[in-house]
Amino acid sequence: MKNIYKPFKVEIVKIEDHSKDTKLFRLQKEKGNFSVNDQGLVSHPGQFVLISNFGYGEAPFGIASSPFEARYIDIVVRRVGCLTKALHQLKKGDQLFLRGPYGNGFPVDFMSGKDVIMVTGGCGIPPIAALTEYIIEKKWKFGRVYLIYGARTPADLLMKDNLEKWNKDIKVILTVDQPDKNWKGYVGLVSKIVKEIKVDPLDAVAAMCGPGPMIDALEHILRPLGISDRRIFVNMERKMQCGVGKCQHCTVGDKFVCQDGPVFNYDQIDKAWD
């Protein structure tokens, strides 16, 4: 029987600088492709993996690559602590250990046939990136689709090549807090963008991932549009150590983010931000 809690070796086959403190790492198995489920998916959009570097520890990362891509998994790493600093020192060809994917992803079957608003900020783009890739792959199943992405400055926007590519199939709306002289997009909170969004509130859903205060403020976008809390799905960011509901580092009320989430209905975890 396959042990999903046992880590296996992966090799770094590509490293991209996405901002001054954030890199994308492309990981491949030593032999063969990653396993796919009966839906042909490596993971459900919104799931996470645990990456370990011997001597530095282990941490969770949202999967940023397409869930249909079995040759590799992409993760986005911001340099903020011991492990992530060590990861930023690695080079193409170095090896890491991976286990997962874990958790519950976005309910793509429920979202099918509806208008979709995806909202993210800062380094919360990976799970939304995976969901975007899923939606574009099966775009005939969805209505109007929007991706709203906010960052501190234009230089802090991650996955820029992907954003340009996605904009051919969905509406990508970008906003920053501090524009530079070349910036032509929105400035300020994502709540300013309501006028850009045209959806049927009775047949629309929302997917979000980002810092707590941003998500808490999104009621100023989604509630004016008439989208109910039960149709808003939040990918929570938490420090998950075991990934299997044992260490209790990721508890939110009576729920474990690693097992019950990381995707929740908004009304399940409203106000439970860090």
Instruction: Tell me the per-residue pLDDT of 116-126, one tens digit each, with 9 for 90 and over.
Output: 999 988 888 99
Q: In the predicted model, what is the mean pLDDT of residues 26-39?
A: 92
Mean pLDDT of 27-47: 92
Q: What confidence score (pLDDT) does residue 207 get?
A: 93
Residue 60 confidence (pLDDT): 92
CA 247 to chain centre: 23
* C-alpha span between 225 and 200 (Å, rounded): 8
Residue 268 above 90 pLDDT?
Answer: no
43/66 Cα distance (integer angstroms): 9
pTM: 0.91
Q: With 0-12 CB in 10 A as exposed, 13-18 as middle and 19+ as buried, what is 230? A: exposed
Query: Does the fold of domain 108-269 match that of domain 8-101?
Result: no
- Evaluate if residue 211 carries a pLDDT over 70: no
Superfamily the domain 8-101 falls into: Translation factors (2.40.30.10)
pLDDT (0 to 100) of residue 246: 57
Whether pLDDT at 78 is above 70: yes
Note the pLDDT of residue 239. 63
Sorted by sequence, the CB contacts under 8 Å of residue 38 that are 6+ apart come out as none
pLDDT value at residue 261: 59
Is the pLDDT assigned to residue 3 strictly greater than 80?
Answer: no
Highest mean pLDDT among 50-59, 188-197, 211-220: 50-59
CATH architecture of 108-269: 3-Layer(aba) Sandwich (3.40)
- Where in the chain are the domains? 8-101, 108-269
Long-range contacts of 237-244 (CB under 8 A, 24+ apart): 237/124, 237/209, 237/210, 237/211, 237/212, 237/262, 237/274, 238/262, 239/59, 239/60, 240/48, 240/50, 240/60, 241/58, 243/5, 243/48, 243/50, 243/60, 243/99, 243/100, 243/102, 243/103, 244/5, 244/102
Whether residue 73 contacts residue 13, with contact meaning beta carbons closer than 8 Å, is answered with no
pLDDT 10s digits, 123-174:
889 999 999 999 999 999 999 999 999 899 999 999 999 999 999 999 999 9
- Average pLDDT in the 92-119 region? 94
